[in-house]
Amino acid sequence: MADVSEALVLARCQEGEQEGFRQFFDMFRGYIYSLCYRMTGNREEVLDLCQESYLAIFRGIKTVRPGCPLKPWVRRVTLNVCLNHRRRWMARIQEEAVAWIGHLEPGNVDSLSGIAGATQDGPARQVELKETRDMLSRAMEALSPEQRMVVILFHQEGLSYREICDETGWPLGTVKTNLFRARKVLARVMGDYRLGSGGGG
């Protein structure tokens, strides 16, 4: 299929054309999936969140002004869907995260001791990198929905503070506070990881 402009896809969707919705889906499904996965870290939840995001997007598509770029609007709608989902389940997630972080306190890092002997080369290094990625993924679960959103927008989407304010409707101070607190949580968990891997020799 030849490339189709966003403006044409938007116009077709706003006219209710099925071809427009199909083109929109092809254009943004990968991005929407990526956002949902980064917000949840749970592949089992991603497909449901994608479906919910598509419904919210197609319900609101007529509110988009012609000529406006679609990606920021798609991101805003999708992240709001994910944020509401995270808020609904935050109590359960926090309980799991707190319990997990408790296992990383000094003196209780047996589950990580195998990383201590990893070298910088070969399969051992790959194992170490995988452990680090898994650790970061779990650390993200310890964040509040708002903190997680700011981390994604700032560090992964590359938005500035002001752009995040525009995206979320939050004051600048709220954005900075959420990012500061999120970094503290991530640094603490990753710091505990490094302490554990360094003390298992």
List the chain domain ranges: 1-88, 90-201
**CATH, range 90-201:** 1.10.10.10
Contacts of 81 (CB under 8 A, 6+ apart): 36, 49, 52, 53, 56
For the stretch 175-187, pLDDT in tens is 999 999 988 888 8
Q: For position 64, what pLDDT does the model report? A: 93
d(CA 163, CA 113): 42
> What is residue 15's three-state secondary structure?
coil
Alpha helices in the chain (DSSP H): 6-14, 18-40, 43-60, 70-88, 90-102, 122-141, 145-151, 161-168, 172-198
For the stretch 19-57, pLDDT in tens is 999 999 999 999 999 999 888 877 878 989 999 999 999
Task: Name the nearest CA neighbour of 98 among 42, 142, 40.
Answer: 142
Decide yes or no: CATH 1.10.150.390 for domain 1-88.
no
